[in-house]
Structures are given as C-alpha cells and as structure tokens.
A and B are shown apart, each in its own frame.
Chain A
Amino acid sequence: MSTEKAITVDHLTKKFGDFTAVDGISFEVNKSEIFGFLGANGAGKTTAMRMLCGLSKPTSGKATVAGFDVYHQTESIKKNIGYMSQKFSLYEDLTVKENIRFYAGIYGKSDEFIKEKTSFVLKNLHLENEAGKLVKSLPLGWKQKLAFSVAIFHEPGIVFLDEPTGGVDPVTRREFWNMIYQAADSGITIFVTTHYMDEAEYCNRVCIMVDGRIEAMDTPQQLKKTYTAASMDEVFLKLARKALRSGE
C-alpha cells in the first residue's frame, strides 16, 4: 500500500443551527486502502460523507479528496470519485447497457471508451446475455454488483460505498466484497459504511463515529486488542453504547 493520501480531513465540522452533526473530525485515508466508516444511526456518518463528496459545505475545518479542496473544488471532486448506495444506484426502467452508457456519459467518457469497457464489465459480471434487459428484472444481488461496476466505470481514484450490501444474501455479499478487493488491488481507494460487523473485519482500517466525533480508528485487529473484544461487533457495541444522542 502506498502512503499517498486519497483523503485528508482536519478538524472538519458541520453545524445545522446549534446542532453539531460532525464535530471536528480528523483522519487520513491512504491510496488503495479499504477504509470502513462505522457509527450508530445519527452519529454523523452521512453528513461527513456528503461533505467529502462535495455535496455539503463544511462549517469549519479542512479536507481534501483526491487532492481537491472540499470548499472550492467540489466539481473536481465529483469528477474524481464514484458513489454507490443501497438506496439509490441504478435506473430501474433503463436496461443494463443503458445504465452503463448513461453514467459513463455523465462522466464525459468517449464512445470508444464506453464501448470497449462495457463489454469488459458485462463479461466480468457474466451479464452478457442480460445487457438488453431492464435493470428492474434483475435479482437484487446482480443489481448491486452492477451498481458497483457502474460506480467505478469512469475509473475514479476513490469510491464511496454507503451500505452497499444491505439486504443482500450472504453468498452475494461475499462476491461483492471480492469485487471491492479487486478494485482496491487496482489502486482504487474504498470508503465504505456498513451495518454488518463481519464486514468491518474486511477493511484495512476502521473508524467508528460516536456523537459526531471519531471515537476510535485503527486496524480491526488492533481495535479488538485495545477494547479486549473477540469481534468487531463487540468493539462497536462497547463504543456506540456511549452515545448520548440517538436517531438522525
């Protein structure tokens, strides 16, 4: 793993009126690292992630994503990241091929690039025979794998995954993580949130947010050692139980 930084965050804060959703968080994510971003509902994960994606202006603090500043270079950030969530990923009424073409088009990719890469992606996902089918006709697991491929189709430096495996069956969940490893191997930095604590073990490093602050950040092994816990589930429960605020 190179020590080049994909993301740097320094005392980043976001206030909504007198409510401090994100309270002076600081961390760095290395290039091609798989970085797990955990926290209870309402801990401030989504707000932090929105700032890093250039969708929400911080109240104070500094941050760069792919070398771009989150205050003044949000358009450059958007061009250089991929994003996928469980809730919104693909257009159900477009075919598999149309979805790929649409997203790649938005990122300004050439027809030639799109054509070549589309056949590569379809082959990789074993979806060659489904290329002309509407996305809504695909099983959820296929959709999620396709959505991930679409999110990194334009070859971004960083991809943000917001609960990408919610509700997915256990076999597909693991196939999905295989794709994450492959992407990280090819140099893409992975920033991922999840409610499945076994998935926290698959990350290179994990950070746990409680009440808008980062309560712990380390490798899964070290976190288990520090909190004398057998699993990440236990680590999470020990930390998240301290939370004073609940809900969004």
Chain B
Amino acid sequence: MKPAVTAKNIVKFYGTKNNKIQALRSISFEVGKGELFGIIGPDGAGKTSLFRILTTLLLADEGEATIDSFDVVKDYKEIRKRVGYMPGRFSLYQDLTVAENLEFFATIFNTSIEKNYDLIKDIYVQIEPFKKRRAGKLSGGMKQKLALCCALIHSPLILFLDEPTTGVDAVSRKEFWEMLKKLKQQGITILVSTPYMDEAGKCDRVALMQSGKIMSIDTPDGIIEKFEKDLFAVRSSKMLSLLNDLKNFEEVEDTYFFGAYHHVVMKHKNKEDMLKNYLLKYAADDLEIKAVRPNIEDCFMSLMKN
C-alpha cells in the first residue's frame, strides 16, 4: 500500500539574503494510510511550516513531498480536495454563525452538510445547540470543535491538525484525543502536531522535532526503548539542595525536575548503590530513590542534548 504522506529532504528558509533563518533542515518521513501520526515539538521547531508545505499552502526551498501519491507542487489542486487542514490559529469566519460556517465550507468543496453528516455527527451534536451563534462568540472548546467539523466536511482522506490542544485545559485535551481516535477508526489518516510531550502516547507513531530537524521517529514505545541509560526518580524534603547535590555527582549525566521527583540520568549502568551511598552523605532521612521507565519527555531532552 502506498503511503498517505511522503516527505523527502524538505528544506525551508525564511528571511532576507543577509538574515536567513532555516525553519526546516532536510525533513524526511512517511505516514501510512490510516495512521495517527504525531509531530511533537516546542514552538519554533518547524511544525507549522511543515504542515503548510504538505497542505500546499507554502513552497519548500528544497525537497519533495507527496500526499496520496500527488506531488505537493504540481498537483496542488488534487491535494486540496483530499486534505482537511485545521490551522493553529482559529481561522473561521467570526461574523458567520456556526451553521453558516459549516455550510460555507461544504459549498466551496461542492458538497453538502447532509452528504457527510455521518463523519461529523459525533462532534457536531455538541455544538448544535449553538448553531445560530456567531463563531467569534464561541468558547475556546466550541471553536475547536467547529473548526474540526469544517475541516472534515468534505470527507478528506488526510487530516492535518496544527496544535489543536495548545492552550486547552487537561480535561478538554483528553476529550479531543478521544474524538481523534474515533476519526481514525473511520479510516482517516491524521497528522497532528503538539507541544505537549504527554500526548505522544496517543499516537501510532511520532516524530520528535526540534530546531527544524526530526530527532527521532518511531512508535512511542520504540522511542522509549532507544533510551539506553539508567534513569532514577529521586526525592526528599529538600528538593533544591538535592538537585544541586545530584548535579555535583560525577556519575550523573543529567538531572532535572520531573513533577514531584527529580529525574537522574546515569552515565553508566548498574550504579544505583553508588548513587544511593552518595546521596545518603548529604540528604535527609526521607530520601527516596527508585528506578523508572523514561517517558517521551525524558527522551526528548536527551535527544536535544546530543
């Protein structure tokens, strides 16, 4: 089966001749049909530039890309029929009502709300009570749902969602990922970008992106397995001095806050006793040390430092 998305050595520069900024540094990857693919990275990583190139809204300076086997430059018209794009910034018509926005997007794609209602039904019923309200007057969560409906109304093969959960609270974020799971079950290929590392686990595969480069690309478990160092979670009642003590220990490669604990990346394997003995010299009696499995954020930080 041919992949839904291919990108090969994509390069993008911004700025003037004398002040060039490289937004994308030779990006290559493929997304299979029906896959839920996450692009995880902070602001400025290049996520939006990449999405805009793949949705034919921006030209790359180098490289090639295809969507459903169509070329993003030559065949842009074909691609636009096949992709749905939800930009990071709310881009619907604020002065049109919920229903008018949806109607508008259906009409430009030569279709009707009725024809593809099945696809949006689960999401649309949640905003239907407000269908006469202007889009500009909706709450953040409802705007997001309407934007998703508008991106789906022409029944696209591939959906691009640029940071749909940024600035959204933890509860609404969970709900949004449940909606995506349902869409995936209907066979839609989904590319979603996010700065939240904890959302990686909801994707089939992820690309970790930083400063215009893909640092790693794999299933979430695959990325975690590549983290080969021993990792410990450590805490005591004096967290700040504990962090300093950890930083001063020669066996420690890296250490940083991690929720209620500090995470400690060790230089060598099987040095738990050494770490314990070292810390017991300084720390209070309530010292707690345990080996932990790294998560995506640990992996991201370790990749950033290499």
Residues of B within 8 A of A171 (CB): 256, 301, 304-305
Does A220 belong to the interface (CB within 8 Å)?
Answer: yes
Q: List 26 A-B contacts (CB under 8 A).
A: A40-B171, A40-B172, A41-B139, A41-B140, A41-B141, A41-B167, A42-B139, A42-B140, A140-B43, A166-B195, A167-B42, A168-B42, A169-B41, A169-B210, A170-B304, A181-B240, A197-B259, A201-B259, A221-B260, A236-B170, A237-B171, A237-B174, A241-B171, A247-B140, A247-B141, A248-B139
Q: Does B222 contact A (CB under 8 A)?
A: no
Residues of chain A contacted by B142 (CB below 8 angstroms): 246-247
Inter-chain contacts of A177 with B (CB < 8 A):
257
**Which B residues lie within 8 Å of A197 (CB)?**
170, 259
A243:B240 contact, CB within 8 angstroms: no
A231 at interface by CB-CB < 8 Å: yes
Q: Are A201 and B170 in contact (CB under 8 A)?
A: no
**A residues apposed to B, CB below 8 Å:** 39-42, 139-141, 163, 166-172, 174, 177, 181, 195-198, 201-202, 220-221, 224, 231-233, 236-237, 240-241, 243, 246-248
9 nearest interchain CB pairs?
A247-B139, A169-B42, A167-B43, A198-B259, A40-B169, A201-B259, A201-B260, A240-B171, A140-B43
- A13 to B: closest C-beta gap in Å: 21
Per the bound structure, the CA–CA distance linking A236 and B139 in Å amounts to 21
Number of A-B contacts (CB under 8 A): 92
Inter-chain contact B304/A169, CB cutoff 8 Å: yes
A220 to B261, CA, bound (A): 12
Query: CA of A236 to CA of B171 in the docked complex: distance in angstroms?
Result: 8
Q: Which chain B residue lies CB-closest to A246?
A: B141
A237 to B174 CA separation, bound complex (whole angstroms): 9
When C-beta atoms are compared, the residue in chain B nearest to A169 turns out to be B42
- Please, how many residues of chain B have a CB less than 8 angstroms from a CB on the other chain? 33
In the bound assembly, the distance between CA atoms of A237 and B172 in angstroms comes to 10
Question: A140-B42, A174-B257 in contact; A41/B169 too (CB < 8 A)?
Answer: yes
Q: Would you give the 0/1 interface string for B292-306, flagging 1 where the beta carbon is closer than 8 Å to chain A? A: 000001001100110
Of B196, B210, B259, which is within 8 A of A231 by CB?
A: B259
- The answer to whether A139 and B167 have CB atoms under 8 Å apart is no
- Which residues does B use to contact A, with CB under 8 Å? 41-45, 138-142, 166-172, 174, 195-197, 210, 240, 256-260, 297, 300-301, 304-305
Chain A residues whose C-beta falls within 8 Å of the C-beta of B196 in the assembled complex? 196
Q: Which residue of B lies closest to A236 (CB)?
A: B170
Q: A237-B170, A247-B138 are in contact. List 5 more A-B contacts (CB 8 A).
A: A139-B44, A140-B43, A168-B42, A170-B301, A201-B259
Q: Is the CB of B44 within 8 A of A140?
A: yes
Using known A-B contacts A168-B42, A247-B138, determine if residue A174 contacts B256 with beta carbons closer than 8 Å.
yes
Distance, CA A144 to CA B203, complexed state (A): 29
Is B139 a contact of A170 with CB atoms below 8 Å? no
**A167 to B165 CA separation, bound complex (whole angstroms):** 11
By a CB distance below 8 angstroms, the chain A residues around B168 are 41, 195
Determine the chain A residues whose CB is within 8 A of the CB of B259 once the complex forms: 197-198, 201, 231-232
Within the complex, what minimum Cβ distance (angstroms) separates A203 from chain B?
A: 11
* Known contacts A140-B43, A170-B301: A202-B257 contact under CB 8 Å: yes
CA distance A40 to B170 in the complex (A): 7
Q: How far is the CB of A234 from chain B (nearest CB, A)?
A: 10
In the assembled complex, the CB of B75 is this many whole angstroms from the nearest CB of chain A, namely 33
Pair B167/A166 contact, Cβ less than 8 Å: yes
A98 vs B150: C-alpha distance when bound (angstroms): 43
Task: Contacts A171-B301, A177-B257, A181-B240 given; indicate if A240 touches B43 (C-beta within 8 A).
Answer: no
With a cutoff of 8 Å between Cβ atoms, the chain A residues found around residue B172 in the complex are 40-41, 246
Nearest B-chain residue to A168, judged by Cβ: B42
Q: Which of B172, B256, B259 gathers most chain A CB within 10 Å?
A: B259
Q: In the complex, are the beta carbons of B43 and A170 less than 8 A apart?
A: no
For A221, the chain B residues whose CB sits under 8 A away are 260
CA–CA, A24 to B202, complex, Å? Answer: 39
B297–A170 CB distance below 8 A = yes
Bound-state CA distance A167–B174 (Å) is 18
The chain B residue sitting closest to A245, CB to CB, is B139
Inter-chain contacts of B42 with A (CB < 8 A)? 140-141, 167-170, 172
Minimum CB–CB distance from A207 to chain B (whole Å) comes to 15
